[in-house]
Amino acid sequence: MEFATFADRAGTIEAEPADLEIVAHVRDLLVDASDEGEERRSSDDAVEPQTLEIVARFVQGRVFPAWDSTTLDIGPSACYEAIARAAGTNVSADDVEDRLAEIGEIGDVAASYEFGGQQGLGAFAGGGSGSEGGGGDDLTVREVADTLEELAHAEGSGSQDRKVDLLFGLFNRCASEEARYLARLVLSEMRIGVGEGTVRDAIAEAFEVPEDRVERALQVSNDYGQVARIARDEGVDGLDGMDLAVGRPIQAMLAQAGTVTDALEEWAEAAVEWKYDGARIQLHHEPGDPGAADGSVAETRVFSRNMEDVTDALPEVVEFAEETLAEPAILDGEVVAVDGDGSPLPFQEVLKRFRRKHDVAKARENVTVRPVFFDCLHADGEDLLAEPLTTRHERLRSVLADSGAGSDTDDAVADEDVEGLSLLWHTDDPDEIESIDADALEAGHEGIMLKDPESAYSPGRRGKHWRKRKPDVETLDCVVTGAEWGEGRRATFLGTFELSVQADDRLETVGKVATGITDEKLAELTELLEPHIAAEEGQAVDLEPAVVFEVGYEEIQSSPTYSSGYALRFPRFQGVRSDKDPEDADTLERLERLRGE
Ligand code: AMP
């Protein structure tokens, strides 16, 4: 397919406002690209991508498959330079930039020049190794793809100049519409209104296969080009036969905000996990076999939430995989920064390590990271995406607990002792969830995740099956009317503070807050409250009203437990309102209003 044809179709799509029509145009484009179906092999006998595969990516503005972290690694200024050179001797990169400032969009800028006058200079570049032969000078989709591939792999000294040369060679062969879409493709600014769903539907229509099967194939392969080719060549059976591959990342399943109440209403019970405050990772591991004739060694790759390869920045994760995993696996989890005792450090600390390219060993001395896995997508040749969460978590446990030393006593090991395993509770009891939440905060984590135990793993989806407990929207200012002395390490601190609101001339209790408070803060609060102790009985103390706390909560329930007749669900300490006296605290009336009564 000529690149001019692609550009022409891209123009039609861009001008089309109706989604269904866009799908139809993309479908026609894929069908036309399919005519060039014969397999091609490069000189080293690797199968080259077919025109259909290239077009399925280009139309979304992608040069490489979504799982492939290869980038062109060419900045806007190099692109301006290439455009300027192709536009003629009297045009400079600065001129291109000026025009961009004026017109506002690089495609329009590229289309505004007349190229092709630089034949003598450009002839050596832009052809690429796999040129379609034809003899004419019309640029083909394949030549663009081949050249961009070569450009992406240019390395070492002088590589930036080489990249500009290659790109110049392409622009030099472009008519204005081709230049428009080439510039946008190179700078990842295609923006013709074609999203992932559009290409999915277009593949289904073009090759007469059901959309949901295309969707599944896309989820496991993360490669629109390959899915289009297989849909064309092998139909539904081919799509169904596509599997996850160790080493090829897939999109992460995402969570939405939600409440405990909603989760328990919708599911018979909830799977509850701590929400670790770190960065998402997807671990791909293929164990080596030192006994094998080729002495194969373990291969581990770690990807970020955006499928970027971050392996080199996180050697601890690689070491963990090599020491722990005895079977090929794809695991989903979080990498957290920890202090010397293994306690979690704030998210900002992880960022000092994540994506780091230089001085990793030195950075590791300052901040250590530790992986925690909460899902298993593939184990020992078996894809688990369609399995329920509970089954996947059990498989995760066995993958992590079986160190390969023939241990058949896995079950004897408590979950807490399986290194790298997220703890997971099944419960339908809100009080138990509350105490898991409290423990999570106490252990220095972010809170909890609520998951539907029956749910499959849906890559790339921000669905209702995973919920992060909603942050508190409203807060209440409550008078502290009681507390309890702590135990053990906290014996000298007051904690578990009783909260009250004003009702006429009385104070009525609404709950107790014990979570979200560090030891340091507890010491401060004890100092503040101790002078107001009115009576003590065992560990419990009554406090005269003096101090006002701001507390967050998830909801207000009616409850016989407290004298107000209401209870704050999941109360969390937010701070002391030192600017407020007890008479400025919130009232029972406000509580009722917040409940919508
Ligand atoms: P957020 O980034 O606020 O949308 O929250 C979702 C993120 O929480 C996920 O992408 C993970 O990186 C992280 N996370 C931490 N712990 C868990 C867990 N147990 N299950 C799922 N995601 C988790």
User: Can you tell me the mean pLDDT for 136-164?
Assistant: 92
pLDDT band at residue 128 under the 50/70/90 scheme: very low
Question: 254-469: what CATH class?
Answer: alpha beta
pLDDT, tens digit, 9 for 90 and up, residues 7-61: 999 999 999 999 999 999 999 999 999 876 555 655 555 566 799 999 999 999 9
For this structure, is 275 an active site residue? yes
Distance of CA 350 from the midpoint of ligand 1 (Å): 14
CA 6 to each of CA 130, 160, 177, 189: distance values in angstroms, whole numbers, following the listed order: 18, 27, 10, 16
Residue 538 φ/ψ region, left for φ over 0, alpha for ψ in the -120 to 50 degree band, beta for the rest: left
Closest residue by Cα to atom 17, ligand 1, is 275
Atom of ligand 1 nearest to the CA of 280: 12
Q: What was the pLDDT predicted at 130?
A: 38
- Residue extent(s) of CATH 2.40.50.140 domains in the chain: 474-595
pLDDT of the residue at 341:
83
The CATH fold assigned to 3-186 is DNA ligase i, domain 1 (1.10.3260)
Whole-number Å distance between alpha carbons of 252 and 35: 35
Out of 305, 446, 468, give the residue to mutate to test ligand 1, the one with the largest number of ligand atoms within 8 Å of its CB.
468
Three-class secondary structure of residue 228 per DSSP = helix
- Residue 482, pLDDT above cutoff 70: yes
| Per-residue pLDDT, 26 | 98
pLDDT at 136 over 70: no
Q: What is the CATH number of domain 474-595?
A: 2.40.50.140
Mean pLDDT of the region 508-517: 87
Q: In this model, does residue 494 exceed pLDDT 80?
A: yes
CB 200 within 8 A of CB 214: yes
Listed range (117-126, 215-224, 254-263) with the worst mean pLDDT: 117-126
Return the residue whose CA atom lies nearest to atom 1 of ligand 1: 255
- Report pLDDT for 193: 93
Work out the average pLDDT over 552-577. Answer: 90
pLDDT number for residue 489: 86
Catalytic-labelled residue, pool 163, 275, 451, 512: 275
Angle between helix axes 176-186 and 159-171 (nearest 10 degrees) is 150
- Residue 255 Cα to ligand 1 midpoint, Å, equals 7
CA–CA separation, 468 vs 513, rounded Å?
21
Q: Are the beta carbons of 455 and 263 closer than 8 angstroms?
A: no
Do 455 and 444 touch, CB atoms closer than 8 A? no
Mean pLDDT computed over every residue of the chain: 89
Give ligand 1 pocket residues (Cβ under 6 A). 254-255, 273, 275-276, 280, 334, 374, 422, 449, 468
| pLDDT value of position 188 | 93
The Å distance, Cα 496 to ligand 1 centre, comes to 28
Helix (H) or strand (E) holding 178: helix 176-186
Q: How many Cβ atoms from other residues are within 10 Å of residue 578's Cβ?
A: 9
- 446-458: per-residue pLDDT in tens? 889 999 999 999 9
pLDDT at 6 over 90: yes
Residue ranges, CATH 1.10.3260.10, the chain? 3-186
Distance of CA 373 from the midpoint of ligand 1 (Å): 11
pLDDT > 90: percent of the chain: 70
Run of H or E residues at 44: none
The confidence score (pLDDT) of residue 41 equals 55
Return the best residue to mutate from 256, 277, 302, 334 for the ligand 1 pocket (most ligand atoms within 8 A of CB).
334
> Is pLDDT of 596 > 90?
no
Burial of 409 (0-12, 13-18, 19+ CB in 10 A): exposed
Instruction: Tell me whether residue 408 is exposed, middle or buried, using C-beta atoms within 10 angstroms of its C-beta: 0 to 12, 13 to 18, 19 or more.
Output: exposed
pLDDT at res. 574: 85
Ligand 1 centroid–CA 347 distance in Å is 12
Give dist(CA 433, CA 439) in Å, integer: 10
State which ligand 1 atom lies nearest to the alpha carbon of 451.
20
Q: Which of 373, 425, 449, 457 to mutate to test the pocket of ligand 1 (most atoms within 8 A of CB)?
A: 449
Task: Dig out the tokens for 391 from the structure.
Answer: 């089954």
Rounded Cα distance, 37 and 74, in Å: 31
- Mean pLDDT (whole number) for 490-517: 91
| Centre of ligand 1 from the C-alpha of residue 464, in Å | 14
CATH 3.30.470.30 domain extents, the chain: 254-469
**Substitution site in 272, 275, 369 for ligand 1 pocket (most atoms within 8 Å of beta carbon):** 275
Contacts of 315 (CB under 8 A, 6+ apart): 360, 361, 364
373: which strand partners? 333, 421
H or E stretch covering 350: helix 347-351
Q: Give the Cα-Cα-Cα angle 456, 335, 394 (nearest 5 degrees).
A: 35
Distance between CA 134 and CA 229 in Å, rounded? 24
Q: How far apart are CA 483 and CA 533, in angstroms?
A: 9
Res 123: pLDDT: 46
Whether 405 shows a pLDDT value over 70: the answer reads: no
Of the pLDDT bands very low, low, confident and very high (cuts 50, 70, 90), residue 131 is very low
Q: What is the mean pLDDT of residues 560-587?
A: 91
pLDDT tens for each residue of 457-467: 999 888 899 99
For residue 487, the CA-to-ligand 1 centroid distance in Å is: 32
CA distance 204 to 207: 6
Q: Ligand 1 atom 22: the closest Cα is on which residue?
A: 275
Ligand 1, atom 18, lies closest to the CA of 275
